[in-house]
Amino acid sequence: MRDFFKLRDPAGAHYTVLVLVYIALAYTSGWLALFQANAVVNAVGVVALAHSMLIAAYLLHDCGHNAVFMSTKANAALGKVLNWVTGSCYGRFEDIRYKHMRHHVDNYDPVVWDYRSFLKRHPTLANVVHAAEWAYIPAVEIMMHTMLVIAPWVIESKRAQRERVLRVLLVRGAILALVLVISPVAFLLYALAQLLLLTALRFMDCYQHNYEVIFNLDDTDTVFPHKGDAAYEQANTYSNLLSHRFPAINLLVLNFCYHNAHHEKPTLGWYRLPELHRTMRPAVETQTLGFAEQARAFHKHRVSRIYAEEYGADEVKASLKEGRAVGVDALSFLTAF
């Protein structure tokens, strides 16, 4: 058992323990706070729950890279638990890992389902999505996570997962139904925490790359012109630090914002990324984005980003400064199709 959970970086064991303890405490205490008859406690609980799920998502991402344990099976075991914590458990951890590895190796964003074409074919639904996105409700991400549930019935490559998805629906549905019966308020607050999670994840994904989106995740024979091209990879990857002056703030997203460093060494633990980022200076400065510029663009283009036609053909840093950068939705590593 000790060999099974052998850490990839034993010197960072205390960081791994701390983040796991944080996820466990913030998640459980957040849930408990949702059931209290106090609005302030409820609000703290929503934030704690949303943030614990966010950190769980980014640690799951590290598990996908085998960055936590030496054993692939050990990383998968932890990743599957974290997948339940995030609420994205309708999709398999193995599929999350496969899609994300394609992203790293091919230097593209391969997906299966084109939600943009789907919305264009269903104008009434498109109007609902437009209105929701205008109101800061991450409707596109909700669609993608809903597709996790129905994918085995509409995507041929997921057909074999029907029984598994039904089991997950039964278990998770029963738990959420129990929450709804005990406290409708707690149920609604959990839904709010999920919306905050989806918003935070999409904000971090929005400007981290300028890769082309290709709908060929299930096609293993496609030739990618930039596959394995490290120079192209770094030139089209951006580090969106929450703070340059106060690096500790970047821990709020488990240092996922040091994205050029992550793409330089994908198996490096999250706690090592700031140091690698510093060693990549001054070259990495040209790929480092300002938080305020991202926040303004994220707000300004929240509706036009639904289609994001220019994604993959834009110089993100210059576009952000000029207020033109639209970014992209629906590329979360948690939606593996």
For the chain, helix (H) and strand (E) counts, in that order, are 14, 2
For 133-172, the pLDDT digits (tens) are 999 999 999 999 999 999 999 998 899 999 999 999 999 9
For 97-111, the pLDDT digits (tens) are 999 999 999 998 888
115, pLDDT greater than 80: yes
- Spell out the domain ranges in the chain: 1-86, 90-238+289-321
291, pLDDT greater than 70: yes
How far is Cα 298 from Cα 246, in angstroms, rounded to an integer? 22
Residue 263 neighbours by CB under 8 Å, 6+ apart? 104, 233, 234, 237
For 203-257, the pLDDT digits (tens) are 999 999 999 888 887 777 778 888 999 999 999 999 999 999 999 999 999 999 9
pTM (predicted TM-score): 0.95
Residue 10 neighbours by CB under 8 Å, 6+ apart? none
How far is Cα 258 from Cα 275, in angstroms, rounded to an integer? 10
What percent of the chain shows pLDDT beyond 70?
98
For 66-95, the pLDDT digits (tens) are 999 999 999 999 999 999 999 999 999 999
What value does the CA radius of gyration of the chain take, rounded to a whole number of Å?
20
What values do phi and psi take at 210, rounded to 5? -135, 50
Q: What confidence category does residue 313 fall into, taking pLDDT thresholds of 50, 70 and 90?
A: low
Sign for the CA dihedral angle at 97, 102, 107, 111 comes to negative
How many Cβ atoms sit within 10 Å of the Cβ of residue 138? 24
